[in-house]
A and B are shown apart, each in its own frame.
Chain A
Protein backbone atom coordinates (compact mmCIF):
# COMPACT_ATOMS: atom_id res chain seq x y z
CA UNK A 1 0.00 0.00 0.00
CA UNK A 2 2.73 2.40 1.04
CA UNK A 3 4.71 1.43 -2.10
CA UNK A 4 1.67 2.13 -4.30
CA UNK A 5 1.14 5.50 -2.60
CA UNK A 6 4.87 6.30 -3.11
CA UNK A 7 4.70 5.53 -6.83
CA UNK A 8 1.53 7.66 -7.33
CA UNK A 9 2.99 10.56 -5.33
CA UNK A 10 6.24 10.30 -7.34
CA UNK A 11 4.37 10.39 -10.66
CA UNK A 12 2.56 13.61 -9.59
CA UNK A 13 5.99 15.01 -8.71
CA UNK A 14 5.14 15.65 -5.06
CA UNK A 15 7.96 16.00 -2.55
CA UNK A 16 8.98 12.91 -0.76
CA UNK A 17 8.74 14.83 2.51
CA UNK A 18 5.00 15.32 2.01
CA UNK A 19 4.69 11.67 1.20
CA UNK A 20 6.47 10.57 4.39
CA UNK A 21 4.52 13.09 6.46
CA UNK A 22 1.20 11.79 5.16
CA UNK A 23 2.38 8.23 5.59
CA UNK A 24 3.47 8.79 9.20
CA UNK A 25 0.16 10.54 10.02
CA UNK A 26 -1.71 7.53 8.65
CA UNK A 27 0.52 5.14 10.59
CA UNK A 28 0.04 7.01 13.89
CA UNK A 29 -3.74 7.14 13.40
CA UNK A 30 -3.72 3.44 12.55
CA UNK A 31 -1.69 2.54 15.66
CA UNK A 32 -3.95 4.70 17.83
CA UNK A 33 -7.04 2.96 16.47
CA UNK A 34 -5.46 -0.44 17.08
CA UNK A 35 -4.57 0.63 20.60
CA UNK A 36 -8.12 1.82 21.39
CA UNK A 37 -9.61 -1.31 19.93
CA UNK A 38 -7.17 -3.49 21.86
CA UNK A 39 -7.83 -1.89 25.24
CA UNK A 40 -11.56 -2.16 24.53
CA UNK A 41 -11.10 -5.83 23.79
CA UNK A 42 -9.05 -6.26 26.97
CA UNK A 43 -11.77 -4.64 29.05
CA UNK A 44 -14.43 -6.82 27.45
CA UNK A 45 -12.33 -9.91 28.13
CA UNK A 46 -11.97 -8.88 31.75
CA UNK A 47 -15.72 -8.33 31.99
CA UNK A 48 -16.37 -11.74 30.52
CA UNK A 49 -14.02 -13.38 32.94
CA UNK A 50 -15.75 -11.52 35.80
CA UNK A 51 -19.03 -12.76 34.42
CA UNK A 52 -17.70 -16.28 34.35
CA UNK A 53 -16.79 -16.04 38.01
CA UNK A 54 -20.10 -14.59 39.04
CA UNK A 55 -22.27 -16.72 36.77
CA UNK A 56 -23.52 -18.98 39.57
CA UNK A 57 -23.65 -16.19 42.11
CA UNK A 58 -26.31 -14.25 40.25
CA UNK A 59 -24.36 -11.01 40.78
CA UNK A 60 -23.78 -10.34 37.12
CA UNK A 61 -24.99 -6.75 37.11
CA UNK A 62 -23.37 -5.68 40.31
CA UNK A 63 -19.94 -7.04 39.59
CA UNK A 64 -19.64 -5.81 36.01
CA UNK A 65 -19.97 -2.29 34.65
CA UNK A 66 -21.75 -3.63 31.66
CA UNK A 67 -22.27 -1.96 28.33
CA UNK A 68 -25.42 -2.71 26.37
CA UNK A 69 -24.13 -5.92 24.77
CA UNK A 70 -23.00 -7.32 28.10
CA UNK A 71 -26.36 -6.55 29.65
CA UNK A 72 -27.98 -8.94 27.18
CA UNK A 73 -25.46 -11.63 28.04
CA UNK A 74 -26.05 -10.95 31.68
CA UNK A 75 -29.76 -11.50 31.28
CA UNK A 76 -29.18 -14.74 29.41
CA UNK A 77 -26.81 -15.92 32.09
CA UNK A 78 -29.24 -14.99 34.81
CA UNK A 79 -31.96 -17.01 33.08
CA UNK A 80 -29.68 -20.03 32.76
CA UNK A 81 -28.60 -19.70 36.32
CA UNK A 82 -32.22 -19.57 37.49
CA UNK A 83 -33.00 -22.64 35.48
CA UNK A 84 -30.03 -24.50 36.94
CA UNK A 85 -31.10 -23.63 40.46
CA UNK A 86 -34.62 -24.74 39.77
CA UNK A 87 -33.43 -28.10 38.39
CA UNK A 88 -31.13 -28.64 41.35
CA UNK A 89 -33.87 -27.95 43.87
CA UNK A 90 -36.23 -30.13 41.93
CA UNK A 91 -33.71 -32.96 41.87
CA UNK A 92 -32.95 -32.88 45.57
CA UNK A 93 -36.66 -32.74 46.41
CA UNK A 94 -37.30 -35.78 44.23
CA UNK A 95 -34.31 -37.59 45.71
CA UNK A 96 -35.50 -36.79 49.22
CA UNK A 97 -39.00 -38.04 48.37
CA UNK A 98 -37.45 -41.23 47.00
CA UNK A 99 -35.31 -41.74 50.10
CA UNK A 100 -38.30 -41.10 52.34
CA UNK A 101 -40.32 -43.66 50.45
CA UNK A 102 -37.64 -46.37 50.58
CA UNK A 103 -36.95 -45.67 54.26
CA UNK A 104 -40.66 -46.01 55.02
CA UNK A 105 -40.76 -49.17 52.92
CA UNK A 106 -37.89 -50.72 54.86
CA UNK A 107 -39.60 -49.94 58.15
CA UNK A 108 -42.87 -51.34 56.89
CA UNK A 109 -41.44 -54.59 55.62
CA UNK A 110 -39.56 -55.18 58.85
CA UNK A 111 -42.80 -55.77 60.73
CA UNK A 112 -43.97 -58.74 58.64
CA UNK A 113 -40.39 -60.06 58.66
CA UNK A 114 -40.42 -59.84 62.46
CA UNK A 115 -43.74 -61.67 62.57
CA UNK A 116 -42.53 -64.42 60.24
CA UNK A 117 -39.35 -64.80 62.22
CA UNK A 118 -41.25 -65.31 65.47
CA UNK A 119 -43.76 -67.66 63.84
CA UNK A 120 -40.99 -69.76 62.29
CA UNK A 121 -39.22 -69.99 65.63
CA UNK A 122 -42.24 -71.80 67.10
CA UNK A 123 -41.10 -74.86 65.17
CA UNK A 124 -37.47 -73.97 64.86
CA UNK A 125 -36.33 -77.44 63.80
CA UNK A 126 -38.73 -77.85 60.89
CA UNK A 127 -38.36 -74.26 59.75
CA UNK A 128 -34.58 -74.02 59.72
CA UNK A 129 -34.29 -73.55 55.95
CA UNK A 130 -37.10 -71.01 55.86
CA UNK A 131 -35.46 -69.10 58.69
CA UNK A 132 -32.18 -69.06 56.80
CA UNK A 133 -33.90 -67.63 53.70
CA UNK A 134 -35.75 -65.08 55.81
CA UNK A 135 -32.42 -64.04 57.29
CA UNK A 136 -31.16 -63.35 53.75
CA UNK A 137 -34.23 -61.20 53.04
CA UNK A 138 -33.56 -59.35 56.28
CA UNK A 139 -29.96 -58.69 55.24
CA UNK A 140 -31.05 -57.37 51.84
CA UNK A 141 -33.55 -55.07 53.52
CA UNK A 142 -30.90 -53.76 55.90
CA UNK A 143 -28.68 -53.13 52.88
CA UNK A 144 -31.33 -50.87 51.30
CA UNK A 145 -31.43 -48.76 54.43
CA UNK A 146 -27.66 -48.53 54.70
CA UNK A 147 -27.45 -47.64 51.01
CA UNK A 148 -29.93 -44.78 51.42
CA UNK A 149 -28.18 -43.48 54.51
CA UNK A 150 -24.69 -43.64 53.03
CA UNK A 151 -25.76 -42.08 49.72
CA UNK A 152 -27.52 -39.18 51.38
CA UNK A 153 -25.47 -36.61 53.21
CA UNK A 154 -27.34 -36.95 56.47
CA UNK A 155 -24.99 -37.75 59.27
CA UNK A 156 -26.41 -39.93 61.99
CA UNK A 157 -23.29 -40.69 64.01
CA UNK A 158 -23.22 -41.39 67.72
CA UNK A 159 -19.55 -41.58 68.69
CA UNK A 160 -18.97 -43.33 72.01
CA UNK A 161 -16.54 -45.74 73.59
CA UNK A 162 -17.61 -49.34 72.99
CA UNK A 163 -16.18 -52.67 74.01
CA UNK A 164 -14.79 -54.06 70.78
CA UNK A 165 -15.47 -57.59 72.06
CA UNK A 166 -19.14 -56.78 72.55
CA UNK A 167 -19.49 -55.40 69.00
CA UNK A 168 -17.77 -58.44 67.53
CA UNK A 169 -19.81 -60.86 69.67
CA UNK A 170 -23.06 -59.17 68.72
CA UNK A 171 -22.22 -59.57 65.04
CA UNK A 172 -21.21 -63.20 65.52
CA UNK A 173 -24.46 -63.98 67.38
CA UNK A 174 -26.37 -62.69 64.38
CA UNK A 175 -24.51 -65.00 62.00
CA UNK A 176 -24.36 -68.02 64.34
CA UNK A 177 -26.93 -70.08 62.37
CA UNK A 178 -24.92 -69.48 59.17
CA UNK A 179 -21.65 -70.57 60.78
CA UNK A 180 -23.30 -73.70 62.17
CA UNK A 181 -25.20 -74.62 59.02
CA UNK A 182 -21.97 -74.33 56.99
CA UNK A 183 -19.99 -76.16 59.70
CA UNK A 184 -17.45 -73.36 59.85
CA UNK A 185 -15.18 -73.00 62.84
CA UNK A 186 -14.75 -69.60 64.45
CA UNK A 187 -11.49 -68.58 66.08
CA UNK A 188 -11.89 -65.58 68.28
CA UNK A 189 -10.12 -64.57 71.46
CA UNK A 190 -11.65 -61.69 73.42
CA UNK A 191 -9.32 -58.69 73.62
CA UNK A 192 -10.82 -56.33 76.22
CA UNK A 193 -10.15 -53.43 73.88
CA UNK A 194 -12.24 -50.30 73.57
CA UNK A 195 -13.17 -48.62 70.32
CA UNK A 196 -14.35 -45.02 70.19
CA UNK A 197 -16.65 -45.17 67.20
CA UNK A 198 -20.19 -45.27 65.87
CA UNK A 199 -21.61 -48.66 66.78
CA UNK A 200 -24.04 -48.91 63.90
CA UNK A 201 -21.57 -48.32 61.10
CA UNK A 202 -18.73 -50.34 62.60
CA UNK A 203 -21.12 -53.26 63.06
CA UNK A 204 -22.35 -52.77 59.52
CA UNK A 205 -18.76 -53.23 58.31
CA UNK A 206 -18.22 -56.29 60.52
CA UNK A 207 -21.48 -57.78 59.26
CA UNK A 208 -20.54 -57.30 55.61
CA UNK A 209 -17.07 -58.78 56.09
CA UNK A 210 -18.28 -61.76 58.15
CA UNK A 211 -21.17 -62.37 55.77
CA UNK A 212 -18.71 -62.40 52.84
CA UNK A 213 -16.30 -64.66 54.71
CA UNK A 214 -19.12 -67.18 55.33
CA UNK A 215 -20.40 -66.86 51.78
CA UNK A 216 -17.05 -67.57 50.15
CA UNK A 217 -15.71 -70.20 52.56
CA UNK A 218 -17.08 -73.63 51.63
CA UNK A 219 -15.16 -75.30 54.46
CA UNK A 220 -12.60 -74.47 57.07
CA UNK A 221 -12.49 -71.62 59.51
CA UNK A 222 -12.95 -67.93 60.02
CA UNK A 223 -10.66 -66.03 62.34
CA UNK A 224 -11.37 -62.69 63.97
CA UNK A 225 -8.41 -61.07 65.65
CA UNK A 226 -7.52 -57.66 67.01
CA UNK A 227 -4.01 -56.26 66.71
CA UNK A 228 -3.51 -52.73 67.92
CA UNK A 229 -6.13 -50.62 66.18
CA UNK A 230 -6.80 -53.21 63.51
CA UNK A 231 -9.55 -55.81 63.44
CA UNK A 232 -8.74 -58.65 61.06
CA UNK A 233 -11.33 -60.99 59.62
CA UNK A 234 -9.74 -63.82 57.72
CA UNK A 235 -11.08 -67.00 56.16
CA UNK A 236 -9.87 -70.16 54.48
CA UNK A 237 -12.16 -69.63 51.52
CA UNK A 238 -11.88 -69.45 47.75
CA UNK A 239 -9.98 -66.15 47.80
CA UNK A 240 -10.16 -63.22 45.41
CA UNK A 241 -8.45 -63.15 42.01
CA UNK A 242 -5.52 -60.66 41.95
CA UNK A 243 -7.09 -58.79 39.02
CA UNK A 244 -10.27 -58.25 41.04
CA UNK A 245 -8.53 -56.92 44.15
CA UNK A 246 -8.03 -53.31 42.99
CA UNK A 247 -11.69 -52.99 42.10
CA UNK A 248 -13.61 -54.86 44.83
CA UNK A 249 -14.52 -51.66 46.70
CA UNK A 250 -16.05 -50.12 43.58
CA UNK A 251 -19.80 -49.74 43.31
CA UNK A 252 -21.41 -52.59 41.42
CA UNK A 253 -18.17 -54.50 40.95
CA UNK A 254 -18.73 -58.17 41.65
CA UNK A 255 -15.59 -59.78 40.28
CA UNK A 256 -15.25 -63.43 39.36
CA UNK A 257 -16.58 -64.63 42.73
CA UNK A 258 -19.75 -62.57 42.49
CA UNK A 259 -20.45 -63.62 38.92
CA UNK A 260 -19.95 -67.26 39.90
CA UNK A 261 -23.10 -67.62 41.95
CA UNK A 262 -24.76 -64.26 41.32
CA UNK A 263 -24.83 -63.91 45.08
CA UNK A 264 -23.26 -60.52 44.98
CA UNK A 265 -24.82 -57.14 44.41
CA UNK A 266 -21.46 -55.41 44.31
CA UNK A 267 -22.66 -53.14 47.07
CA UNK A 268 -21.49 -54.72 50.33
CA UNK A 269 -17.83 -53.77 50.12
CA UNK A 270 -18.54 -50.46 48.40
CA UNK A 271 -20.84 -49.45 51.25
CA UNK A 272 -18.40 -50.83 53.83
CA UNK A 273 -15.71 -48.56 52.45
CA UNK A 274 -18.08 -45.61 52.60
CA UNK A 275 -19.13 -46.46 56.13
CA UNK A 276 -15.47 -46.80 57.07
CA UNK A 277 -14.62 -43.34 55.83
CA UNK A 278 -17.64 -42.02 57.73
CA UNK A 279 -16.10 -43.25 60.99
CA UNK A 280 -12.52 -42.39 59.94
CA UNK A 281 -11.58 -46.05 59.59
CA UNK A 282 -9.83 -47.81 56.74
CA UNK A 283 -10.38 -51.17 55.08
CA UNK A 284 -7.75 -53.18 53.27
CA UNK A 285 -7.63 -56.67 51.84
CA UNK A 286 -5.14 -59.41 51.14
CA UNK A 287 -6.03 -62.60 49.39
CA UNK A 288 -4.54 -65.74 47.95
CA UNK A 289 -6.89 -67.50 45.52
CA UNK A 290 -7.63 -71.00 46.75
CA UNK A 291 -6.36 -70.45 50.25
CA UNK A 292 -8.16 -67.48 51.75
CA UNK A 293 -8.83 -63.81 52.25
CA UNK A 294 -8.03 -61.38 55.03
CA UNK A 295 -9.83 -58.09 55.49
CA UNK A 296 -8.43 -55.52 57.89
CA UNK A 297 -10.49 -52.77 59.46
CA UNK A 298 -8.12 -50.10 60.68
CA UNK A 299 -9.77 -48.06 63.39
CA UNK A 300 -8.60 -44.52 63.98
CA UNK A 301 -6.34 -43.98 66.97
CA UNK A 302 -7.88 -42.84 70.23
CA UNK A 303 -6.60 -39.30 69.78
CA UNK A 304 -8.20 -38.85 66.40
CA UNK A 305 -11.53 -40.10 67.68
CA UNK A 306 -11.43 -37.76 70.65
CA UNK A 307 -11.49 -34.88 68.20
CA UNK A 308 -14.69 -36.31 66.73
CA UNK A 309 -16.35 -36.54 70.14
Chain B
Protein backbone atom coordinates (compact mmCIF):
# COMPACT_ATOMS: atom_id res chain seq x y z
CA UNK B 1 0.00 0.00 0.00
CA UNK B 2 1.33 3.41 -0.96
CA UNK B 3 1.61 6.18 1.61
CA UNK B 4 0.67 9.69 0.56
CA UNK B 5 1.60 12.82 2.50
CA UNK B 6 -0.92 15.62 2.15
CA UNK B 7 0.08 19.26 2.72
CA UNK B 8 -3.26 21.09 2.58
CA UNK B 9 -4.40 23.66 5.13
CA UNK B 10 -8.09 23.59 4.27
CA UNK B 11 -9.25 20.84 6.60
CA UNK B 12 -12.48 19.96 4.82
CA UNK B 13 -10.60 19.57 1.53
CA UNK B 14 -7.84 17.61 3.27
CA UNK B 15 -10.45 15.25 4.73
CA UNK B 16 -12.19 14.83 1.37
CA UNK B 17 -8.92 14.10 -0.45
CA UNK B 18 -7.89 11.69 2.29
CA UNK B 19 -11.14 9.74 2.23
CA UNK B 20 -11.23 9.58 -1.58
CA UNK B 21 -7.65 8.39 -1.98
CA UNK B 22 -8.07 5.92 0.88
CA UNK B 23 -11.16 4.50 -0.78
CA UNK B 24 -8.93 3.76 -3.77
CA UNK B 25 -6.51 1.97 -1.48
CA UNK B 26 -3.80 4.45 -0.50
CA UNK B 27 -2.81 5.47 3.01
CA UNK B 28 -2.98 9.23 3.51
CA UNK B 29 -1.34 11.30 6.25
CA UNK B 30 -2.30 14.97 6.43
CA UNK B 31 -0.04 17.63 7.91
CA UNK B 32 -1.13 18.93 11.30
CA UNK B 33 1.55 21.47 12.20
CA UNK B 34 2.28 23.80 9.29
CA UNK B 35 5.37 25.13 11.07
CA UNK B 36 7.04 21.73 10.92
CA UNK B 37 6.07 20.20 7.61
CA UNK B 38 9.52 18.69 7.04
CA UNK B 39 9.52 16.95 10.41
CA UNK B 40 6.10 15.42 9.79
CA UNK B 41 7.23 14.44 6.29
CA UNK B 42 10.27 12.62 7.68
CA UNK B 43 8.10 10.79 10.15
CA UNK B 44 5.47 9.77 7.59
CA UNK B 45 8.01 8.39 5.06
CA UNK B 46 5.53 8.76 2.18
CA UNK B 47 5.80 7.49 -1.39
CA UNK B 48 4.29 10.69 -2.72
CA UNK B 49 3.56 14.23 -1.50
CA UNK B 50 0.49 16.29 -2.43
CA UNK B 51 1.33 19.97 -1.91
CA UNK B 52 -0.85 23.07 -1.80
CA UNK B 53 0.77 26.46 -2.59
CA UNK B 54 -0.91 28.86 -0.19
CA UNK B 55 -0.20 27.64 3.31
CA UNK B 56 0.12 29.32 6.68
CA UNK B 57 3.64 30.46 7.71
CA UNK B 58 5.56 29.25 4.63
CA UNK B 59 4.23 28.42 1.18
CA UNK B 60 4.32 25.17 -0.76
CA UNK B 61 7.37 26.24 -2.80
CA UNK B 62 9.36 26.63 0.42
CA UNK B 63 8.40 23.20 1.73
CA UNK B 64 9.08 21.64 -1.65
CA UNK B 65 12.64 22.95 -1.66
CA UNK B 66 13.04 21.85 1.98
CA UNK B 67 11.85 18.31 1.16
CA UNK B 68 14.04 18.25 -1.94
CA UNK B 69 17.09 18.76 0.30
CA UNK B 70 16.46 15.42 1.97
CA UNK B 71 14.37 13.36 -0.45
CA UNK B 72 13.60 12.76 -4.12
CA UNK B 73 10.07 11.53 -3.40
CA UNK B 74 7.57 12.62 -6.08
CA UNK B 75 5.85 15.89 -5.18
CA UNK B 76 2.59 16.81 -6.87
CA UNK B 77 1.13 20.29 -6.51
CA UNK B 78 -2.58 20.58 -5.90
CA UNK B 79 -3.57 24.21 -6.09
CA UNK B 80 -6.21 26.64 -7.28
CA UNK B 81 -3.55 29.17 -8.31
CA UNK B 82 -2.91 27.35 -11.54
CA UNK B 83 -1.56 30.13 -13.73
CA UNK B 84 1.42 29.38 -15.89
CA UNK B 85 3.78 31.28 -13.56
CA UNK B 86 2.85 29.12 -10.58
CA UNK B 87 3.13 25.90 -12.57
CA UNK B 88 6.60 26.85 -13.84
CA UNK B 89 7.65 27.92 -10.35
CA UNK B 90 6.45 24.62 -8.86
CA UNK B 91 8.25 22.54 -11.48
CA UNK B 92 11.43 24.61 -11.03
CA UNK B 93 11.28 24.02 -7.28
CA UNK B 94 11.30 20.30 -7.94
CA UNK B 95 7.65 19.34 -8.28
CA UNK B 96 6.78 16.40 -10.54
CA UNK B 97 3.30 17.44 -11.60
CA UNK B 98 0.68 20.14 -11.06
CA UNK B 99 -2.99 19.33 -10.60
CA UNK B 100 -5.31 22.36 -10.69
CA UNK B 101 -8.19 22.58 -8.22
CA UNK B 102 -10.98 21.71 -8.27
CA UNK B 103 -9.79 18.24 -9.07
CA UNK B 104 -11.94 15.33 -10.01
CA UNK B 105 -11.56 12.28 -7.72
CA UNK B 106 -10.99 9.99 -10.69
CA UNK B 107 -8.41 12.29 -12.24
CA UNK B 108 -6.60 12.78 -8.93
CA UNK B 109 -6.41 9.05 -8.37
CA UNK B 110 -5.32 8.36 -11.94
CA UNK B 111 -2.53 10.96 -11.77
CA UNK B 112 -1.33 9.82 -8.37
CA UNK B 113 -1.30 6.20 -9.53
CA UNK B 114 0.49 7.07 -12.76
CA UNK B 115 3.28 8.82 -10.86
CA UNK B 116 3.53 6.05 -8.27
CA UNK B 117 3.74 3.47 -11.03
CA UNK B 118 6.35 5.48 -12.88
CA UNK B 119 8.45 5.94 -9.76
CA UNK B 120 8.22 2.59 -8.05
CA UNK B 121 7.22 -0.03 -10.60
CA UNK B 122 9.37 0.75 -13.59
CA UNK B 123 10.40 -2.85 -13.99
CA UNK B 124 7.22 -4.62 -13.06
CA UNK B 125 4.88 -5.54 -15.88
CA UNK B 126 3.13 -8.10 -13.80
CA UNK B 127 0.29 -6.08 -12.35
CA UNK B 128 -2.73 -8.29 -11.92
CA UNK B 129 -6.19 -8.30 -10.37
CA UNK B 130 -7.68 -11.55 -9.09
CA UNK B 131 -11.36 -12.41 -9.22
CA UNK B 132 -13.33 -15.67 -8.93
CA UNK B 133 -10.10 -17.65 -9.21
CA UNK B 134 -9.28 -15.89 -12.48
CA UNK B 135 -6.60 -13.26 -13.09
CA UNK B 136 -6.82 -10.02 -15.09
CA UNK B 137 -3.43 -8.97 -16.46
CA UNK B 138 -3.22 -5.19 -16.71
CA UNK B 139 -0.20 -5.16 -18.98
CA UNK B 140 -1.50 -7.24 -21.90
CA UNK B 141 -5.30 -7.05 -21.57
CA UNK B 142 -5.75 -10.78 -20.92
CA UNK B 143 -7.67 -12.94 -18.47
CA UNK B 144 -6.31 -16.32 -17.37
CA UNK B 145 -8.54 -18.92 -15.77
CA UNK B 146 -7.70 -22.56 -15.06
CA UNK B 147 -4.78 -22.46 -17.44
CA UNK B 148 -6.75 -20.86 -20.27
CA UNK B 149 -5.82 -17.45 -21.63
CA UNK B 150 -8.44 -15.10 -23.10
CA UNK B 151 -7.55 -11.89 -24.92
CA UNK B 152 -9.74 -8.84 -24.42
CA UNK B 153 -10.11 -5.78 -26.58
CA UNK B 154 -9.17 -2.42 -25.10
CA UNK B 155 -12.82 -1.55 -24.42
CA UNK B 156 -13.63 -4.94 -22.86
CA UNK B 157 -10.52 -4.76 -20.72
CA UNK B 158 -11.39 -1.28 -19.40
CA UNK B 159 -14.98 -2.29 -18.60
CA UNK B 160 -13.78 -5.30 -16.63
CA UNK B 161 -11.11 -3.23 -14.88
CA UNK B 162 -13.58 -0.53 -13.84
CA UNK B 163 -16.04 -3.12 -12.47
CA UNK B 164 -13.20 -4.79 -10.54
CA UNK B 165 -11.98 -1.44 -9.19
CA UNK B 166 -15.48 -0.92 -7.82
CA UNK B 167 -15.96 -4.50 -6.74
CA UNK B 168 -19.06 -5.05 -4.61
CA UNK B 169 -20.58 -1.77 -5.79
CA UNK B 170 -23.15 -1.27 -8.51
CA UNK B 171 -21.69 0.73 -11.38
CA UNK B 172 -24.26 2.49 -13.56
CA UNK B 173 -23.97 2.56 -17.31
CA UNK B 174 -23.33 6.33 -17.20
CA UNK B 175 -20.51 5.93 -14.69
CA UNK B 176 -19.04 3.11 -16.73
CA UNK B 177 -19.13 5.33 -19.80
CA UNK B 178 -17.62 8.29 -17.93
CA UNK B 179 -14.72 6.07 -16.86
CA UNK B 180 -14.23 4.87 -20.43
CA UNK B 181 -14.26 8.46 -21.71
CA UNK B 182 -11.60 9.35 -19.13
CA UNK B 183 -9.50 6.72 -20.89
CA UNK B 184 -10.21 8.33 -24.27
CA UNK B 185 -12.67 5.65 -25.33
CA UNK B 186 -15.67 7.62 -26.56
CA UNK B 187 -18.38 4.95 -26.42
CA UNK B 188 -22.09 5.58 -26.66
CA UNK B 189 -24.97 3.54 -25.27
CA UNK B 190 -25.12 1.01 -28.11
CA UNK B 191 -21.40 0.42 -28.23
CA UNK B 192 -21.36 -0.14 -24.49
CA UNK B 193 -24.13 -2.74 -24.79
CA UNK B 194 -22.26 -4.54 -27.56
CA UNK B 195 -18.93 -4.42 -25.68
CA UNK B 196 -20.57 -5.64 -22.50
CA UNK B 197 -22.21 -8.67 -24.13
CA UNK B 198 -18.97 -9.60 -25.92
CA UNK B 199 -17.04 -9.35 -22.65
CA UNK B 200 -19.60 -11.57 -20.95
CA UNK B 201 -19.46 -14.14 -23.74
CA UNK B 202 -15.66 -14.25 -23.56
CA UNK B 203 -15.76 -14.76 -19.80
CA UNK B 204 -18.41 -17.48 -20.15
CA UNK B 205 -16.46 -19.21 -22.91
CA UNK B 206 -13.48 -19.42 -20.61
CA UNK B 207 -15.64 -20.91 -17.90
CA UNK B 208 -16.42 -17.79 -15.84
CA UNK B 209 -20.21 -17.79 -15.71
CA UNK B 210 -22.27 -15.03 -14.10
CA UNK B 211 -19.32 -12.92 -12.99
CA UNK B 212 -20.89 -9.66 -14.16
CA UNK B 213 -24.38 -9.31 -12.73
CA UNK B 214 -26.90 -6.92 -14.28
CA UNK B 215 -29.00 -4.89 -11.83
CA UNK B 216 -31.91 -3.74 -13.99
CA UNK B 217 -32.28 0.01 -14.04
CA UNK B 218 -29.17 0.46 -11.89
CA UNK B 219 -26.13 -0.97 -13.62
CA UNK B 220 -23.63 -3.78 -13.30
CA UNK B 221 -21.79 -5.38 -10.40
CA UNK B 222 -19.04 -7.91 -9.80
CA UNK B 223 -19.57 -9.34 -6.32
Q: Which residues of A contact B170 (CB under 8 A)?
A: 125
* Complex alpha-carbon distance, A112 and B10, angstroms: 9
Q: Which residues of A contact B20 (CB under 8 A)?
A: 118, 121-122
Nearest chain B CB to A162 CB, angstrom units: 13
Nearest chain A CB to B60 CB, angstrom units: 13
Using CB atoms, name the residue of chain B closest to A114: B102
* Complex alpha-carbon distance, A179 and B185, angstroms: 13
Contact call B175/A125, Cβ cutoff below 8 A: yes
Q: Which residues of A contact B80 (CB under 8 A)?
A: 106-108, 110-111, 114
* Complex alpha-carbon distance, A180 and B178, angstroms: 7
Contact call B186/A188, Cβ cutoff below 8 A: yes
Contact call A185/B188, Cβ cutoff below 8 A: yes
Residue B172 CB within 8 A of the other chain: yes
Contact call A122/B102, Cβ cutoff below 8 A: no
Contact A156/B83 with A110-B101, A124-B175, A176-B181 known, Cβ cut-off 8 Å: yes
Q: Which residues of A contact B189 (CB under 8 A)?
A: 183
Contact A169/B101 with A107-B80, A111-B13, A112-B12 known, Cβ cut-off 8 Å: no
Residues of B within 8 A of A (CB): 10, 12-13, 16-17, 19-20, 23, 54, 80-81, 83-85, 88, 101-108, 170, 172, 174-175, 177-178, 181-182, 184, 186, 188-189, 218-219
Contact call B10/A179, Cβ cutoff below 8 A: no
Residue A64 CB within 8 A of the other chain: no
* Complex alpha-carbon distance, A173 and B17, angstroms: 21
* Complex alpha-carbon distance, A138 and B100, angstroms: 12
Residue A186 CB within 8 A of the other chain: yes
A interface bracket (residues with beta carbon within 8 Å of B): 35 or more
Contact call B103/A179, Cβ cutoff below 8 A: no
Contact call B104/A121, Cβ cutoff below 8 A: yes
* Complex alpha-carbon distance, A88 and B55, angstroms: 36
Residues of A within 8 A of B (CB): 106-108, 110-119, 121-122, 124-125, 128, 138, 149, 156-158, 169, 172-173, 176-177, 179-181, 183, 185-186, 188, 198, 200
Contact call B84/A176, Cβ cutoff below 8 A: no
* Complex alpha-carbon distance, A121 and B105, angstroms: 7
Nearest chain B CB to A166 CB, angstrom units: 10
Using CB atoms, name the residue of chain B closest to A125: B172
* Complex alpha-carbon distance, A63 and B6, angstroms: 66
Nearest chain B CB to A146 CB, angstrom units: 11
Contact call B102/A113, Cβ cutoff below 8 A: yes
Using CB atoms, name the residue of chain B closest to A124: B175
Query: Which residue in B12, B54, B172, B184 is a CB contact (below 8 Å) of A115?
Result: B12
Q: Which residues of A contact B178 (CB under 8 A)?
A: 176-177, 180
Query: Which residue in B84, B101, B172 is a CB contact (below 8 Å) of A113?
Result: B101
* Complex alpha-carbon distance, A40 and B203, angstroms: 105
Using CB atoms, name the residue of chain A closest to B18: A118
Query: Which residue in B13, B17, B186 is a CB contact (below 8 Å) of A172?
Result: B186
Query: Which residue in B84, B106, B177 is a CB contact (below 8 Å) of A200?
Result: B84
Q: Which residues of B contact A108 (CB under 8 A)?
A: 80
Q: Which residues of A contact B85 (CB under 8 A)?
A: 156
Contact call B181/A180, Cβ cutoff below 8 A: yes
Contact call A181/B186, Cβ cutoff below 8 A: no
Q: Which residues of A contact B84 (CB under 8 A)?
A: 156-158, 198, 200
Q: Which residues of A contact B23 (CB under 8 A)?
A: 122
